[in-house]
Amino acid sequence: MSLTRRQFGRQFGCAFCGLAAALLAGSLAAQAPASGRTFLVPGYRPAPASDEKGLWSLMDRVEQELKLSRFVVRDPTLNAYVRDIMCRLAKDHCPDVRTYIVRTAQFNASMAPNGMMEVWTGLLLRCGDEAQLAAILGHEMGHYLRSHTVERWRDARNKSDFGTFLGLGLAVAGLGAFGSLAQLALVASSYGFSRDQEREADEIGLELMSKAGYPPVAAAEVWEQLIDEYKAGTAERARQLLFATHPEPEERMGALREAAAKAGGDAGERGHERYLEKLAGVRAQLVGDELALRQYGRSELVFERLLVRWPDDGQLWFAKGEVYRLRGEDGDAARALASYARALETKNAPPETLRGTMLIELKSGARDRAQAAFEAYLKAKPDAADADALRMLLSQ
């Protein structure tokens, strides 16, 4: 890790261009009203010694740390894919943006003022196709292009209200006493935008999407799915978190649907098959991460919804089976077996489907069927690391 943290992020293709852009941005900012109606110029840099420069440098340091994080997904195919979509949306701003995929089983994407974009794997799991992913990336670009985070940050400082800015970050990040305060700013930057700011980001996102050839209606779909999912969770706090950070989601969804219809509706490329293909390397991990949270209602909804789009996906049927097996309530054993059986009818059932089957059969006392499933599991996965463990269960 370099000691010179004073990094401006990337090479200037043209030093004069960078300077000119900064000056231009500066003068535009001077003209603009406080609502932040300026559109960020490609290659923009904040003026040195400005407060924005401070925030920028902070984000640069966060990015340096992020690069070294264990939680960053480094799958080259997936990274190239996400970067590609980002670039098509960002157009002239493409060189200013860097994408990072972070392994967290929650739905989130955020973009820092210095062009660093973070996409969480929980979001990648939930997107039904490329267009939906593009919708989210476009929305974040909207916040970035209108400097909403800088706006909010300035606002918070003026009102001595930095606590609100960081408070949400604290709630979500939960860092230890000796952690990095800088990281909080990044997490916080994805929450708490005003209704106007969210609407602006939505509008810009829709425009970027349709220009890049995606159906704008995908944006409304994403939001609808998100609302459904939070409703499926019974925890009151979950609902509050969403609604605290996104004012009046249902109203927003309605507005989004209208705007999407005006912007081109469902005309455009979905990227349905391509999305699945590009995620192939990480999908099993994403499914496992979601299951590990043991939020059965939410997970069931997510997998069912994905199955509507990909009805013959063995991995999704397996995932659904696992939800039931792990939940273990009345009737779940039968539900799990049904899902596993359905998975086995497809072309891509993971071998673990047989493991799940074995465990369920064993629990119901059907030893012979459990034995058969175990043998089939070993056949499908001869190097199964848990073979001994399962054999132990059968012998008891």
Give whichever of 95 and 233 is closer to another protein, judged by the CB atom: 233
User: For another protein, which residue of 21, 25, 40, 55 counts as binding (CB under 8 A)?
Assistant: 55
Give whichever of 69 and 348 is closer to another protein, judged by the CB atom: 69
User: For another protein, which residue of 24, 28, 94, 171 counts as binding (CB under 8 A)?
Assistant: 171
* Residue span binding another protein (CB under 8 A) among the ranges 11-19, 132-140, 236-244, 335-343: 236-244
User: For another protein, which residue of 149, 225, 295, 339 counts as binding (CB under 8 A)?
Assistant: 295
Give whichever of 253 and 360 is closer to another protein, judged by the CB atom: 360
Give whichever of 61 and 381 is closer to another protein, judged by the CB atom: 61
Q: Is 294 in the site for another protein (CB under 8 A)?
A: yes
Q: Is 376 in the site for another protein (CB under 8 A)?
A: no
User: For another protein, which residue of 20, 23, 32, 292 counts as binding (CB under 8 A)?
Assistant: 292
Centre a 10 Å sphere on the Cβ of residue 60 and count the other Cβ atoms it contains.
19
* Residue span binding another protein (CB under 8 A) among the ranges 87-95, 99-107, 306-314, 338-346: 99-107
Give whichever of 255 and 362 is closer to another protein, judged by the CB atom: 362
Report the nearest approach of another protein to the CB of residue 389 (Å): 4
User: For another protein, which residue of 30, 34, 68, 308 counts as binding (CB under 8 A)?
Assistant: 68
319 to 338: interface string for another protein, x by CB under 8 A: -------x-x----------
Helix 181-188 and helix 162-173, axial crossing angle in degrees, nearest 10? 100
214, 58, 190, 231: which is closest to 134 by C-alpha? 214
Report the nearest approach of another protein to the CB of residue 266 (Å): 32
* Residue span binding another protein (CB under 8 A) among the ranges 100-108, 131-139, 259-267, 368-376: 100-108
User: For another protein, which residue of 179, 265, 281, 311 counts as binding (CB under 8 A)?
Assistant: 179
Contact residues for another protein, defined by CB under 8 A:
1, 3, 5-6, 49, 53-58, 60-61, 68-71, 103-105, 121, 157, 160-163, 166, 170-182, 185, 233-235, 237-238, 241, 289, 292-298, 326, 328, 359, 362-363, 385-386, 388-390, 392-393, 396
